[in-house]
Structure 1
Amino acid sequence: AVGGYLLFYQFSNEINKRVDRELVSEEVQWIRYLQTATAGGSRFALRSPDILIYPVRDEPTLYPEIKSTVDKREEANEQVTFRQLSHVVMVRGVPYQIIIRKSQEQKSALVANVTWIMLLVFGGLFTAMMLFNWFISQKVWRPFRQTLQKIRTMELGKMPAVHFDETATEEFSELNASLNTMTQKIYNDYRSMKEFTENAAHEMQTPLAVAQSKLELLLQDESLQESQGEAIAQASMALDRLGKLNQSLLLLARIENNQYVATEPVSMAEITRKYLRQFDEIIRDKNLQVHTEFWANFFVWIHPSLADSLVSNLLGNAIKFNYSGGEIQVSISEKEFCIANTSRLPAIEPDRLYKRFHSAGNTSEPSTGLGLAIVKGIADNHNLLIRYEKEGKTHRFCLSKKGENS
């Protein structure tokens, strides 16, 4: 843009210089004519639209004054730009005012034409440069975009099938080689952790089951004293809690390692109906009133097992931390899934809401303190937002899809 303006200015300046030379040359010719026309002592005067010559009483000037001026052309009744020379000269002892002007219409038309040509040339060059840069960019950056696409679609369990190829660009080849090394290391670490968690869970479940069965056999011994029976029952409950804790920790590890692959859109309404039927006896034992509002179906692309864990934990908490004769409300719309329950417990502090091994309050039923941590982990891994709020005695948890307003 600056270069175009400078070129336009230079071109316009050169035209003005050429017109100025023509004006000076024409003035010299008129001065010579004046000297001839006034040889007998007569006076000379000439008035025309573009030339004025008449005697004046002013002092002669050393150099002519040349400038651009605007005047109205009578026949066209429009403003016209002129280049005008004004000079007072002494001819045979008489000062004469000489005014010569030339219309700039041709110059304006020429400059306009040149400007359009310049715009077309520069526009064409700019377009060609942009197309060339786009073509080069597409060609040069194609390997990088392919690498980026592979990274975006990469899954931990399928890393061995992903390979970053060599390219003609040395820097991208080095990047791909580094990515191959890094992904292999990540997959090896992931596989080691996966095997460890699975082996640890399996190896722990076996002795827990054996110990549990032994304790149950001891409880059947009629020779046990009451205090001994209570101690064994407490130990059995502790083992049962340890087994549930082991399963919950294993589930959390699998969620964080993305070991559950979403296979289909799951209806949260159907899952909720299933668990309401399963928990029906417990609900009736606590005399809880359940209200359901299924306005529409809330679908989540999730592994069915994780959908079960999501609903069972939220609904289980709504039952566990409720009081006898309380209420549970389940509302489902196309964009939101909410479970609310009455409780005498205070609001859960935000910094402890999804903290592991944090129990919401005193309850007669044992808790691992991992339920909400599991819910949070599942939500984060499946593009879901989880919201908690308390109003009066009602605690409410709502799930919605990220990017959608409920």
Structure 2
Amino acid sequence: MKLLTRTNRYYLGLSATLFVLGTGLLYEGLQHALAHEVDEQLQQQRTYLTARIRRAGALPTIALPQELTIDGPTRSESLRDTVIFDPVEREPVPFRVISFPVVVRSQVHWLTLRKSLLETEDVLKVVMGVMLAVMTLLFSSLLLLNRWLSRWLWAPFRRTLQALRGFQLQQPESLALPATPIDEFSELNQAVAQLTQRVAADYRALKEFTENAAHETQTPLAIMQARLEQLVQDPELPERTLGAVQDVYRAARRLSRLHQALTLLSKIENRQFNAGVPVSLDGVVREKLRQLQDFLEDKDIEPQVTLLTPVSVTMHPALAESLVGNLLQNAVNHNVRGGLLRVNLSPAALEITNTGPELHSDPMLLLGRFRKHNAASDSPGLGLSIAEQICTYYGFSLSYAYAPAGHLHTLRVAF
């Protein structure tokens, strides 16, 4: 939920509560004031009639029976409300009534004065209608004004957010944020600019270190492998020394693969690859299967390949080859002789199923670094980790499922 929406809800909730309470209090207050005014008018008429009867010594003439009754059924002094049917309006009409005694020629007569409350109800309706209209207009104006002010006041924040979304660590220029007269947003821009400068500096230092380390270690490893290959092929090398040299050669090759895998992981995590291009993934699958043909024949595996339609995915070509290659190589290396290898490619996903060793733990744990089926394997245990990093880089989803029936391992990349 947006901040403006949440604050507007609180404002409207508080305003509505106060409006309801204020309307109720105003209604009760007006009703009480109007009733008090009617009572005062009745008391004034009583005083006037009493004085007039005392001077004239006779009862007044009744002009309107609804307003004055002489010697009616009421024989007690009171001030009350009543309802009388109006033949003109053809509906019951509320009245305020006062009854009092007067003495004319030593005889007691009871007078009843009435005053209609329709006028007070009309006044209440007018006042409440005006108040509702004013409050509705006020709420609408406040809401529109608040929305306009929020857009205007929060515009610097949105510009800063847009600049952050477009910021790339690979770009040489620093993050440029527009100036703002609002102190809080100005402080935020300064803090964000300093933070991005530090992050960019750390990124450049890490990138430089990774490139230097990759270059400086790859060359000695290549020299070691070349020299060790020469020693292994030397016919004059003693048998006892040959075994030790072969062990060192295998360790050097393993170290070289580990170095390449870690370097690739570092580049992926540091987002050092350029923007992707459309890559024909079905072509990559065919090429990788062709490269693994010798390994497949060695294990007597006949792959079942289903390529429904040509599938194009926007990726860096090297990362596409690495993703498919690591998944297929994992399916071949951990397969059994004469086992199953099924490859299904569709526009929605790439799915690779193979037979393999039995699992007793969560297969998703094997996507972590240096996790292997067999701890004694020469594999560095980074193939699936590299595949997962590539999927994360492009927003794909990599899942690992294991079916005990048949010991089937399934890796699925959803695009």
Same fold (TM over 0.5): yes
Shift of 1:225: 3.0
Instruction: Give, as a single letter, the amino acid of the residue that structure 2 aligns with 1:229.
Output: L
Count of matched residue pairs? 392
Amino acid at match of 2:236: S
Match of 1:215 among 205, 225, 228: 228
Aligned counterparts of 1:179 and 1:226: Cα–Cα separation in 2: 65
**In 2, Cα distance between the equivalents of 1:28 and 1:265?**
102
Q: 1:118 to 1:234 in 2, by over 3 A?
A: same
> Residues 47 and 301 from structure 1, CA distance in 2 versus in 1: closer, same or farther, beyond 3 angstroms?
same
Shift of the alpha carbon at 1:247? 0.7
Say whether residues 1:374 and 2:393 are aligned partners: no
**Residue matched to 2:71:** 54
Deviations 1:210-247 (A, max 9, x none): 11111111122111233332322222121111111001
Give distance in 1, aligned partners of 2:129 and 2:110.
Answer: 43
Moved more, 184-193 or 165-174: 165-174
1:22 aligns with 2:41: yes
In terms of mean alpha carbon deviation, does 44-53 or 191-200 score higher?
A: 44-53
CA distance in 1, matches of 2:287, 2:185: 52
Instruction: Confirm whether residue 138 of structure 1 aligns to residue 151 of structure 2.
Output: yes
Mapped pair 1:258 → 2:271: yes
Asked whether 1:13 is paired with 2:32, we answer: yes
Contact preservation (8 Å) 1:160, 1:187:
no
Residue 231 of structure 1 aligns with which residue? 244
Of residues 149, 167, 183 in structure 2, which corresponds to 1:154? 167
Q: 2:141 aligns with which of 120, 124, 128?
A: 128
In the superposition, the TM-score normalised over structure 1's length comes to 0.84
| Local SS of the residue matching 2:373 | coil
Question: What does residue 292 of structure 2 align with?
Answer: 279
Partner of 1:404: none
Q: Is the 8 A contact 1:269 1:298 kept in 2?
A: yes
> Which deviates more, 137-146 or 87-96?
87-96
Equivalent residue, structure 2, for 1:307: 320
Structure 1 residues 350 and 6: CA distance shift in structure 2, 3 A? farther
After TM superposition, give the deviation of residue 198 of structure 1 in Å.
0.8
Counterpart residue type for residue 320 of structure 1: N
What is aligned with 1:319?
332
2:371–2:381 Cα contact (<8 Å) kept: yes
| Cα displacement string for residues 164-194 of structure 1 (whole angstroms, at most 9, x for unaligned residues) | 2332122322222222222111111111111
Distance change >3 Å, CA 83–CA 383, structure 1 → 2: farther
Partner of 2:199: helix, strand, or coil?
A: helix
User: Which residue of structure 2 lines up, in the alignment, with residue 100 of structure 1?
Assistant: 114
- Taking the aligned partners of 1:86 and 1:368, their CA distance within structure 2 comes to 105
Residues in 2 aligned to 1:117 and 1:75: alpha-carbon distance in whole angstroms = 29
CA distance in structure 2 between the partners assigned to 1:184 and 1:384 by the alignment: 30
Change (3 A) 1:47 1:136: closer
Unpaired runs of 5+ residues, structure 2, are 1-18
Contact 1:46 1:54 survives alignment (8 Å)? no
SS of the equivalent of 1:164 reads coil
**Alpha-carbon distance, 1:205 to partner:** 0.7
Q: Mark the CA change 1:170 to 1:297 in structure 2 (over 3 Å): closer, same or farther.
A: farther
Contact 2:42/2:98 (8 A) holds in 1:
no
- The 8 Å contact of residues 74 and 99 in structure 2, kept in 1 or not, is answered as no
Residue type at the aligned position of 2:410? R
Output one character per residue of 1:58-88: Cα deviation in whole Å (capped at 9) or x when no partner. 4x43xx4244x556545555454x1422424
CA contact (8 A) 1:56 1:97 kept: no
- CA change 1:95–1:173 in 2 (3 A) is same
| CA deviation after TM superposition for structure 1 residue 329, in Å | 2.3
Query: Matched residues in 2 for 1:342 and 1:71: separation?
Result: 97
**CA RMSD across the alignment:** 3.1
Alpha-carbon shift at residue 259 of structure 1 (Å): 1.3
Per mean C-alpha deviation after superposition, the further-off stretch among 339-348 and 22-31 is: 22-31
Post-superposition offset of 1:47: 8.6
Identity %: 32
Normalised to the residue count of structure 2, the TM-score between the two structures is 0.82
Instruction: Quote the Cα distance in structure 2 between the aligned partners of 1:124 and 1:26.
Output: 42
- Please name the residue that 2:259 is paired with: 246
2:187 corresponding residue in structure 1:
174
| Cα distance change of structure 1 residues 137 and 232 upon mapping to structure 2, 3 Å threshold | same
Q: Secondary structure at the match of 2:335?
A: coil
Segments of 5+ residues of structure 1 without an aligned counterpart are 402-406
**CA apart distance, 1:308:** 1.9
Answer whether contact 1:55 1:94 (CA < 8 A) is retained: no
User: 2:399 maps to which residue?
Assistant: 387
1:263-297 Cα deviation digits (max 9, x unpaired): 23545444333322332332233222423344567
State whether residues 272 and 311 of structure 1, in contact with CA within 8 Å, keep that contact through their aligned partners in structure 2.
yes
1:202 — aligned with what? 215
Moved more, 302-311 or 5-14: 5-14
